[in-house]
Amino acid sequence: MFSAQAPNRRPVVFNPLRRRSDHEKRRFRRGVYLLPSLFTIGNMFCGYACVAYAMRGDLETAAPFIGIAIVLDMLDGRIARLTGSTSAFGREFDSLADVVSFGMAPALLVFQWGLEPLGRLGWAAGFVFVSAGAIRLARFNIQTTTDKRYFVGLPIPAAAAVPAATVYLYPNGLHDYASALPALALMLIPAVLMVSTIRYRSFKTIDLRARRPYKILLAVIILFFAVAAKAHWTLLVIAYGYLLSAFVGMARSRLRRRGAPSVPLPPDQQPGDEQS
């Protein structure tokens, strides 16, 4: 006996010309690349831990979690590229983790540190920072034709490093309205730079497998020594140095253009040669 087919169900038609790949394209690819995703989860955990410690008032413990999240964020992308495990899922997952670790976490950290005395103005400044970070990530994900050597706008991990390094250096906080006003700059200036079109140098194109001069290895050793000896000041200099690096580069480019010799015009284009 043959069972009656459902009225809304199409009968299966055998087509010998149909390729196997046609069926495979319709299937959702299950599974994720585990190794880079583990670093992304660690990045998001650091953001969550920063928020938890900041709500308890332990700002000196909360701020370094943003620095650890920055390191993990740098590693997950590089490991994905080195192992050939990049995917659309990993890119979107990384962006969601960055909103937590470099958007929400630094905003709440600075609010507990110095924005709370400002009332509504304080939490509004924090929301501007979070919104600018989300816009920055969305714009980065849809960019297709860009120079890989530069970021368009301040990257959100670098923007989060500025308030994190400041709070880590001075964790006592700001407790009255007048002294809390400078805390607005920690939120608004990086927020504006994130959505700007100012170009910041990217380190993603650096090939770690290529031969380098010994001076670079020595510089890295000195950097590690400085972080170990004076972590508070070293991290502050790195965060603000990268923030200002784009403006230094713009100033150098303008000085080079001014100092470049002007190209003389051909004789037929010299001024005064036009017939009246």
What are the tens digits of pLDDT across the range 132-175? 999 999 988 887 666 777 888 899 999 999 999 999 999 998 98
Q: For residue 150, list its beta bridge partners.
A: 201
Give the integer Cα–Cα distance in Å for 84 and 210. 18
Residues in Cβ contact with 125 at an 8 Å cutoff, skipping those fewer than 6 apart: 115, 118, 183, 184, 187, 188
**pLDDT at 44 > cutoff 90:** yes
Residues, the chain: 276
Residues 152 and 89: beta-carbon distance below 8 Å:
no
Residues 40 and 94: beta-carbon distance below 8 Å:
yes
Least confident of 214-223, 239-248, 254-263: 254-263
Return the pLDDT at 274: 43
Give the integer Cα–Cα distance in Å for 39 and 77. 9
Return the pLDDT at 28: 43
Residues in Cβ contact with 49 at an 8 Å cutoff, skipping those fewer than 6 apart: 62, 65
Q: Domains along the chain?
A: 32-254 (1.20.120.1760)
Average pLDDT of the segment spanning 172-181: 90
Average pLDDT of the segment spanning 71-95: 84
For the entire predicted model, the pTM comes to 0.78
